[in-house]
Amino acid sequence: MNLVSPLPPGRPRAARPPRAAINDRLLSACDGPEGSTPLHEEVRQNLEHLWQYGGNRDGKTPGRRPDWILIRSPFLMQQPDTGHDPVLPRLVPARGLPLRLELFMLFDAQCRYGPEDRVRIGRTFEDVEEANQPIKSWQKVVLSDTSSNHREAAALRGRQIKEALRVLYKQHLVDIGQDKRRPGRRDLNRITLLSEASTPVNQPKYTVPTAGLYVSRHFFTSLWVFALTNTEIATFLALSARRASFPNAHKASGVFVVQKHRGQFGLKDNTWRSARDLHTYGLVDRVNDPHRDTGNGRISEFGARWNNREVMPTRFTIVDGVLEQPALPTIDRVLNNPTPEDQFRQWFD
């Protein structure tokens, strides 16, 4: 008897590449022939320059240099008395760059503008002379896997960025102006950043917030925003939100996310499992229940200890210092050439 279930109709789902392979492709991405500067180094330098000088034309006048990038809580958390779900859970399954591009634009805006300023994006897709351009083109500030000949890489990345902007437009996170030359079409050079707390009903223009969850600027300038997967980013932001809500607890013993909290974020269980990867990379420390078996994950005498309220949820502490390390080489080391400390973390998982 054949006990193998038949394949469901329709196109089979492509297998996800191993985590190390994803990182390898980002490490090897390049816009020039063999021997040229890797794209991740070029993007890192451009984002560091953006943070240092905020797009000032002379490239010498210091910019705003925010240590923390603020994100409004409604972007990832259900708000009381509203009928609108947060946007983050809808961006997590989106393929490509939408989530990364949204976060990059928040970083970009806060490096260049203050809370009372009018935010303008001002980036182009055209291949223009970059040397004296205070605002680099999209292709020079976004890292992605193009997996193509270097002569096509920048153009393919441009198409990925355009597709991501269309996704963000549908999610009410950007406004794309009408193309004056082609009626009924949108002009991707006329982009207005909308609030990350926008809803289908309320879509105000973006202003730099003065409160919210906070993420180290190194999350961007060290390229973690491009190196992490969508689920890893979402979990990191959720833990950052918990830290912002309970800073003293985070500092003292860590924050935890139990089932009732998870409902506020609307993230699936497979997303939360990415906390293990964040711990493996060293981005978070975690403290498990001391009665949990590290081999099978079970808590001994769970029923009795639960009734006595002795079961401790896993607590997490964000390690901001690790964000200062370059993301891609760090992940490469952890996955391919782990240090004794890396091995200990992996064993602890």
In the predicted model, is pLDDT for residue 132 greater than 70? no
pLDDT at 59: 75
In the predicted model, is pLDDT for residue 130 greater than 60? no
Identify the band that residue 257 occupies on the pLDDT scale cut at 50, 70 and 90: confident
In the predicted model, is pLDDT for residue 147 greater than 50? yes
Q: Which amino acid is at 193?
A: L
Q: Which of 85-89, 300-304, 324-328 has the highest average model confidence (pLDDT)?
A: 324-328
Would you give the DSSP letter of residue 15? Answer: P
pLDDT at 42: 94
In the predicted model, is pLDDT for residue 184 greater than 80? no
Residues 6+ apart with CB under 8 A from 339: 333
Going from the C-alpha of 283 to that of each of 69, 96, 117, 275, 320, the distances in angstroms are 17, 23, 33, 9, 7
pLDDT, tens only, 271-289: 989 999 999 999 999 886 4
Task: Find the largest Cα–Cα distance for the chain.
Answer: 75
Lowest mean pLDDT among 24-38, 39-53, 129-143, 235-249: 129-143
Going from the C-alpha of 287 to that of each of 45, 290, 342, 348, the distances in angstroms are 36, 8, 16, 10
In the predicted model, is pLDDT for residue 2 greater than 80? no
CA distance 21 to 1: 38
Lookup result for tokens 């990415």: 274
CA distance 123 to 125: 7
pLDDT at 148: 64
Lookup result for tokens 């560091």: 48
pLDDT at 56: 82
CA distance 131 to 150: 20
Would you give the DSSP letter of residue 318? Answer: E
Q: Which amino acid is at 25?
A: R
Whole-model pTM? Answer: 0.87
More confident residue, 56 or 308: 56
Identify the band that residue 347 occupies on the pLDDT scale cut at 50, 70 and 90: confident
Burial of 60 (0-12, 13-18, 19+ CB in 10 A): exposed
**How confident is the model over 309-316, as a mean pLDDT?**
67
In 155-167, which positions are buried (b, 16+ CB within 10 angstroms) versus exposed (e)?
ebbbebbebbbeb
Pairing of strands 174-178, 186-193: antiparallel
Identify the band that residue 306 occupies on the pLDDT scale cut at 50, 70 and 90: very low
pLDDT at 10: 47
CA distance 121 to 192: 7
pLDDT at 3: 41
Reported as type and span, the H/E element at residue 70 is: strand 68-71
Q: Decide if 328 contacts 227 (C-beta within 8 A).
A: yes
pLDDT, tens only, 71-106: 999 999 988 777 788 999 999 999 999 999 999 999
In the predicted model, is pLDDT for residue 182 greater than 90? no
Retrieve residue 255's tokens: 């924050």
**How confident is the model over 172-201, as a mean pLDDT?**
89
More confident residue, 292 or 258: 258
State the chain's mean pLDDT as an integer: 85
Q: Decide if 168 contacts 196 (C-beta within 8 A).
A: no
pLDDT at 4: 40
